[in-house]
Amino acid sequence: MIKKTLDQQLKKASEIIKKSKRTCFFSGAGLSVESGIPCFRGPKGIWNMIDPGFIEINYFLNNPNESWKLIKKYFYDFLDDIKPNDAHKGITKLQNMGYIKTVITQNIDCLHQAAKNKNVYEYHGTLEYMVCMNCGLRVKSSNIQLDTLPPLCDKCRGLLKPDFVFFGEPIPFKAQDQADYEIKNSDCFIVTGTTGEVVPAGLIPMYAKRNGSKIIEINTEKSNYTDYITDVFLQGKATQIISALVKELTE
Ligand code: NAD
Protein backbone atom coordinates (compact mmCIF):
# COMPACT_ATOMS: atom_id res chain seq x y z
CA MET A 1 0.00 0.00 0.00
CA ILE A 2 2.83 2.41 0.98
CA LYS A 3 4.75 1.43 -2.19
CA LYS A 4 1.62 2.04 -4.32
CA THR A 5 1.16 5.50 -2.77
CA LEU A 6 4.83 6.36 -3.37
CA ASP A 7 4.55 5.22 -7.01
CA GLN A 8 1.53 7.50 -7.46
CA GLN A 9 3.37 10.40 -5.84
CA LEU A 10 6.39 9.79 -8.08
CA LYS A 11 4.13 9.96 -11.16
CA LYS A 12 2.56 13.20 -9.90
CA ALA A 13 6.00 14.70 -9.24
CA SER A 14 7.34 13.74 -12.64
CA GLU A 15 4.29 15.29 -14.38
CA ILE A 16 4.96 18.57 -12.55
CA ILE A 17 8.66 18.45 -13.48
CA LYS A 18 7.88 17.68 -17.14
CA LYS A 19 5.50 20.66 -17.34
CA SER A 20 7.85 23.02 -15.51
CA LYS A 21 9.69 25.69 -17.51
CA ARG A 22 12.34 26.14 -14.83
CA THR A 23 12.97 23.81 -11.89
CA CYS A 24 15.24 24.67 -8.97
CA PHE A 25 16.63 21.98 -6.67
CA PHE A 26 16.88 23.20 -3.04
CA SER A 27 19.00 21.06 -0.72
CA GLY A 28 19.76 20.75 2.98
CA ALA A 29 21.96 18.57 5.17
CA GLY A 30 19.78 15.45 4.60
CA LEU A 31 21.04 15.18 1.02
CA SER A 32 24.57 14.45 2.25
CA VAL A 33 23.63 12.08 5.10
CA GLU A 34 24.13 9.07 2.79
CA SER A 35 27.64 10.38 2.03
CA GLY A 36 28.35 9.97 5.75
CA ILE A 37 27.94 13.61 6.85
CA PRO A 38 25.56 13.98 9.79
CA CYS A 39 22.80 16.62 9.93
CA PHE A 40 23.01 19.36 12.54
CA ARG A 41 19.60 18.60 14.03
CA GLY A 42 17.79 15.39 15.01
CA PRO A 43 18.88 12.44 17.21
CA LYS A 44 22.14 11.80 15.33
CA GLY A 45 22.76 15.49 14.64
CA ILE A 46 26.07 17.26 15.36
CA TRP A 47 24.33 19.71 17.73
CA ASN A 48 23.53 16.78 20.04
CA MET A 49 27.25 16.26 20.54
CA ILE A 50 28.53 19.83 20.66
CA ASP A 51 27.20 23.34 21.34
CA PRO A 52 27.08 25.28 18.03
CA GLY A 53 28.53 28.39 19.75
CA PHE A 54 31.99 27.68 18.32
CA ILE A 55 30.79 28.89 14.91
CA GLU A 56 29.28 32.09 16.26
CA ILE A 57 31.22 34.97 14.67
CA ASN A 58 32.04 36.94 17.87
CA TYR A 59 33.13 33.79 19.70
CA PHE A 60 35.35 32.90 16.71
CA LEU A 61 36.98 36.35 16.62
CA ASN A 62 37.60 36.36 20.38
CA ASN A 63 38.64 32.69 20.71
CA PRO A 64 40.16 31.70 17.35
CA ASN A 65 42.21 28.84 18.80
CA GLU A 66 39.35 27.09 20.59
CA SER A 67 36.98 27.69 17.68
CA TRP A 68 39.46 26.41 15.07
CA LYS A 69 40.15 23.18 17.03
CA LEU A 70 36.45 22.29 16.73
CA ILE A 71 36.11 23.57 13.15
CA LYS A 72 38.98 21.29 12.16
CA LYS A 73 37.51 18.30 13.99
CA TYR A 74 33.89 18.68 12.84
CA PHE A 75 34.34 20.10 9.33
CA TYR A 76 37.80 19.70 7.80
CA ASP A 77 39.09 16.36 9.13
CA PHE A 78 36.60 14.32 7.11
CA LEU A 79 36.45 16.50 4.00
CA ASP A 80 39.00 14.52 1.94
CA ASP A 81 37.12 11.24 2.46
CA ILE A 82 33.60 12.22 1.47
CA LYS A 83 32.13 11.49 -1.95
CA PRO A 84 28.90 12.45 -3.68
CA ASN A 85 26.12 9.86 -3.31
CA ASP A 86 23.52 8.63 -5.82
CA ALA A 87 21.25 11.59 -5.00
CA HIS A 88 23.94 14.13 -6.02
CA LYS A 89 24.65 12.05 -9.14
CA GLY A 90 20.91 11.78 -9.90
CA ILE A 91 20.67 15.59 -9.93
CA THR A 92 23.38 15.65 -12.64
CA LYS A 93 21.34 13.16 -14.67
CA LEU A 94 18.19 15.25 -14.28
CA GLN A 95 20.13 18.37 -15.32
CA ASN A 96 21.55 16.60 -18.37
CA MET A 97 18.00 15.53 -19.28
CA GLY A 98 16.97 19.20 -19.06
CA TYR A 99 14.72 18.82 -16.02
CA ILE A 100 16.64 20.83 -13.40
CA LYS A 101 18.08 24.26 -14.19
CA THR A 102 19.68 25.38 -10.93
CA VAL A 103 20.64 24.15 -7.46
CA ILE A 104 20.43 26.27 -4.31
CA THR A 105 22.15 24.49 -1.44
CA GLN A 106 22.42 25.21 2.26
CA ASN A 107 25.25 22.67 2.38
CA ILE A 108 28.87 23.69 2.62
CA ASP A 109 30.41 20.32 1.68
CA CYS A 110 31.02 20.94 -2.08
CA LEU A 111 29.37 17.60 -3.01
CA HIS A 112 27.03 19.11 -5.61
CA GLN A 113 30.09 20.32 -7.55
CA ALA A 114 31.94 17.05 -6.97
CA ALA A 115 29.00 15.29 -8.68
CA LYS A 116 29.24 17.80 -11.57
CA ASN A 117 25.93 19.52 -10.83
CA LYS A 118 25.66 22.78 -12.79
CA ASN A 119 24.50 26.27 -11.73
CA VAL A 120 25.06 25.57 -8.02
CA TYR A 121 24.44 28.48 -5.65
CA GLU A 122 25.92 28.00 -2.16
CA TYR A 123 23.58 30.02 0.06
CA HIS A 124 25.69 29.48 3.19
CA GLY A 125 29.10 29.57 1.50
CA THR A 126 31.56 26.70 1.33
CA LEU A 127 34.30 24.81 3.15
CA GLU A 128 36.32 24.83 -0.07
CA TYR A 129 37.65 28.32 0.60
CA MET A 130 38.92 30.36 3.55
CA VAL A 131 38.86 34.12 3.79
CA CYS A 132 41.24 36.46 5.61
CA MET A 133 39.43 38.52 8.28
CA ASN A 134 42.03 41.29 7.85
CA CYS A 135 42.69 41.78 4.11
CA GLY A 136 39.79 39.78 2.60
CA LEU A 137 42.04 37.45 0.55
CA ARG A 138 40.15 34.26 -0.45
CA VAL A 139 42.27 31.10 -0.55
CA LYS A 140 41.64 27.42 -1.36
CA SER A 141 41.31 25.47 1.91
CA SER A 142 43.30 22.58 0.40
CA ASN A 143 46.34 24.92 0.24
CA ILE A 144 46.20 25.69 3.96
CA GLN A 145 47.94 23.47 6.54
CA LEU A 146 45.92 22.96 9.71
CA ASP A 147 48.84 21.60 11.79
CA THR A 148 49.21 24.92 13.60
CA LEU A 149 46.01 26.68 14.64
CA PRO A 150 44.62 29.16 13.91
CA PRO A 151 45.66 29.31 10.25
CA LEU A 152 46.93 32.74 9.18
CA CYS A 153 46.91 34.63 5.88
CA ASP A 154 50.14 34.27 3.84
CA LYS A 155 49.88 37.87 2.71
CA CYS A 156 49.12 39.81 5.94
CA ARG A 157 49.16 37.25 8.81
CA GLY A 158 45.48 38.00 9.49
CA LEU A 159 43.13 35.31 10.86
CA LEU A 160 41.67 32.91 8.27
CA LYS A 161 38.02 31.89 8.58
CA PRO A 162 36.21 29.16 6.59
CA ASP A 163 34.17 30.90 3.90
CA PHE A 164 30.82 29.70 5.17
CA VAL A 165 28.23 31.77 7.01
CA PHE A 166 28.74 31.69 10.79
CA PHE A 167 25.94 32.40 13.27
CA GLY A 168 25.64 36.17 13.54
CA GLU A 169 26.84 36.81 9.96
CA PRO A 170 24.60 38.01 7.13
CA ILE A 171 23.90 35.95 4.01
CA PRO A 172 26.29 37.11 1.25
CA PHE A 173 24.54 39.59 -1.05
CA LYS A 174 25.26 37.54 -4.21
CA ALA A 175 23.76 34.35 -2.71
CA GLN A 176 20.60 36.19 -1.66
CA ASP A 177 20.36 37.81 -5.07
CA GLN A 178 20.57 34.41 -6.80
CA ALA A 179 17.96 32.93 -4.46
CA ASP A 180 15.62 35.88 -5.14
CA TYR A 181 16.03 35.29 -8.89
CA GLU A 182 15.06 31.63 -8.56
CA ILE A 183 12.08 32.48 -6.32
CA LYS A 184 10.86 34.87 -9.02
CA ASN A 185 11.62 32.77 -12.10
CA SER A 186 11.32 29.07 -11.19
CA ASP A 187 7.91 27.40 -11.32
CA CYS A 188 8.96 24.22 -9.50
CA PHE A 189 11.17 23.65 -6.44
CA ILE A 190 12.42 20.19 -5.44
CA VAL A 191 13.09 20.65 -1.71
CA THR A 192 15.28 17.87 -0.34
CA GLY A 193 16.68 16.93 3.07
CA THR A 194 15.88 20.07 4.99
CA THR A 195 13.84 20.81 8.09
CA GLY A 196 13.22 24.41 6.98
CA GLU A 197 14.18 25.55 10.47
CA VAL A 198 17.24 27.59 9.52
CA VAL A 199 16.24 31.08 8.40
CA PRO A 200 16.46 32.97 6.11
CA ALA A 201 17.36 29.88 3.98
CA GLY A 202 14.24 28.01 5.13
CA LEU A 203 12.03 30.81 3.82
CA ILE A 204 13.15 30.32 0.20
CA PRO A 205 10.61 27.53 -0.58
CA MET A 206 7.91 29.54 1.29
CA TYR A 207 8.48 32.61 -0.90
CA ALA A 208 8.66 30.40 -4.01
CA LYS A 209 5.28 28.87 -3.14
CA ARG A 210 3.82 32.33 -2.59
CA ASN A 211 5.09 33.25 -6.06
CA GLY A 212 3.15 30.33 -7.58
CA SER A 213 5.84 27.63 -7.67
CA LYS A 214 4.97 23.96 -7.18
CA ILE A 215 6.79 22.33 -4.27
CA ILE A 216 7.98 18.73 -4.51
CA GLU A 217 9.50 17.60 -1.23
CA ILE A 218 11.90 14.69 -0.60
CA ASN A 219 12.60 13.80 3.04
CA THR A 220 12.69 10.78 5.33
CA GLU A 221 10.43 12.71 7.77
CA LYS A 222 7.79 15.42 7.54
CA SER A 223 9.32 18.91 7.76
CA ASN A 224 8.07 22.43 8.44
CA TYR A 225 6.96 22.50 4.80
CA THR A 226 5.11 19.20 4.39
CA ASP A 227 1.64 20.09 5.69
CA TYR A 228 1.80 23.75 4.63
CA ILE A 229 3.31 24.30 1.20
CA THR A 230 4.27 20.88 -0.21
CA ASP A 231 2.29 19.77 -3.29
CA VAL A 232 3.87 16.31 -3.56
CA PHE A 233 5.66 14.65 -0.63
CA LEU A 234 8.06 11.87 -1.60
CA GLN A 235 8.92 10.19 1.68
CA GLY A 236 12.18 8.26 1.74
CA LYS A 237 15.93 8.51 1.50
CA ALA A 238 17.21 11.03 -1.03
CA THR A 239 19.26 8.42 -2.93
CA GLN A 240 16.27 6.08 -3.41
CA ILE A 241 13.75 8.77 -4.29
CA ILE A 242 15.98 10.69 -6.72
CA SER A 243 17.02 7.45 -8.47
CA ALA A 244 13.31 6.57 -8.77
CA LEU A 245 12.56 10.03 -10.17
CA VAL A 246 15.33 9.63 -12.78
CA LYS A 247 13.79 6.27 -13.78
CA GLU A 248 10.27 7.73 -13.93
CA LEU A 249 11.44 10.64 -16.09
CA THR A 250 13.46 8.36 -18.39
CA GLU A 251 10.49 6.10 -19.26
P1 NAD B 1 18.82 19.82 9.29
O2 NAD B 1 19.96 19.13 9.96
O3 NAD B 1 18.05 20.82 10.02
O4 NAD B 1 17.76 18.79 8.67
C5 NAD B 1 18.10 17.71 7.89
C6 NAD B 1 16.84 17.12 7.24
O7 NAD B 1 17.25 16.04 6.40
C8 NAD B 1 15.80 16.58 8.20
O9 NAD B 1 14.54 17.08 7.81
C10 NAD B 1 15.87 15.05 8.00
O11 NAD B 1 14.61 14.42 8.17
C12 NAD B 1 16.33 14.96 6.56
N13 NAD B 1 17.06 13.74 6.20
C14 NAD B 1 17.94 13.02 6.94
N15 NAD B 1 18.44 12.00 6.25
C16 NAD B 1 17.88 12.07 5.01
C17 NAD B 1 18.02 11.29 3.82
N18 NAD B 1 18.84 10.23 3.75
N19 NAD B 1 17.29 11.65 2.74
C20 NAD B 1 16.44 12.72 2.78
N21 NAD B 1 16.29 13.48 3.89
C22 NAD B 1 16.99 13.17 4.98
O23 NAD B 1 19.48 20.39 8.04
P24 NAD B 1 19.21 21.73 7.33
O25 NAD B 1 17.75 22.02 7.38
O26 NAD B 1 19.91 21.61 6.08
O27 NAD B 1 19.86 22.90 8.21
C28 NAD B 1 21.02 22.84 8.87
C29 NAD B 1 22.04 23.84 8.39
O30 NAD B 1 23.23 23.18 8.59
C31 NAD B 1 22.00 24.17 6.95
O32 NAD B 1 22.21 25.50 6.85
C33 NAD B 1 23.22 23.47 6.34
O34 NAD B 1 24.02 24.41 5.67
C35 NAD B 1 24.05 23.10 7.49
N36 NAD B 1 24.64 21.75 7.40
C37 NAD B 1 25.34 21.40 6.29
C38 NAD B 1 25.90 20.14 6.20
C39 NAD B 1 26.64 19.77 4.95
O40 NAD B 1 27.19 20.65 4.30
N41 NAD B 1 26.61 18.51 4.55
C42 NAD B 1 25.75 19.23 7.24
C43 NAD B 1 25.07 19.64 8.38
C44 NAD B 1 24.50 20.90 8.43
Mean pLDDT rounded to a whole number for the chain: 95
pLDDT of residue 39: 86
Angstrom distance (rounded) from CA 103 to CA 21: 15
Q: How does pLDDT run across 94-147, given as a tens digit for each residue?
A: 999 999 999 999 999 999 999 999 999 999 999 999 999 999 999 999 999 999
Q: Is 33 near ligand 1, meaning CB less than 6 Å away?
A: yes
By most ligand atoms within 8 Å of CB, the mutation choice from 6, 40, 199 for ligand 1 is 40
- Stated pTM of the model: 0.95
pLDDT of residue 197: 93
Average pLDDT over residues 24-49: 89
How many angstroms separate the alpha carbon of residue 107 from the centre of ligand 1?
8
Q: Is 109 near ligand 1, meaning CB less than 6 Å away?
A: yes
Helices (H), 50-157: 57-62, 64-71, 86-96, 111-114
Helices (H), the chain: 2-19, 57-62, 64-71, 86-96, 111-114, 173-185, 203-210, 238-250
Would you name the residues annotated as active-site residues?
A: 124
pLDDT of residue 206: 98
Average pLDDT over residues 150-172: 97
Q: Which residues fall within 8 angstroms of residue 188, CB to CB, at 6 or more apart?
A: 16, 17, 20, 22, 23, 24, 213, 214, 215, 216
pLDDT of residue 68 exceeding 90: yes
Residue 27 pairs with which residues in a beta bridge?
105, 192
pLDDT of residue 49: 83
Give the chain's length. Answer: 251
How many angstroms separate the alpha carbon of residue 40 from the centre of ligand 1?
6
Angstrom distance (rounded) from CA 56 to CA 71: 11
Angstrom distance (rounded) from CA 161 to CA 166: 10
pLDDT of residue 3 exceeding 60: yes
Q: At what angle do helices 86-96 and 238-250 cross, to 10 degrees?
A: 30
How many angstroms separate the alpha carbon of residue 153 from the centre of ligand 1?
31
Q: Is 249 near ligand 1, meaning CB less than 6 Å away?
A: no
How many angstroms separate the alpha carbon of residue 237 from the centre of ligand 1?
12
Q: Is 39 near ligand 1, meaning CB less than 6 Å away?
A: yes
- Give 20-31 as a DSSP string: -SSEEEEE-GGG
pLDDT of residue 22: 98
pLDDT of residue 44 exceeding 80: no
Q: How does pLDDT run across 180-232, given as a tens digit for each residue?
A: 999 999 999 999 999 999 999 999 999 999 999 999 999 999 999 999 999 99
pLDDT of residue 2 exceeding 70: no
Q: State the pLDDT confidence band at 4, using cuts at 50, 70 and 90.
A: low
Q: What 3-state DSSP class applies to 109?
A: coil
Residue nearest to atom 25 of ligand 1 (CA): 194
Look at 1 and 202; give whichever has higher pLDDT. 202
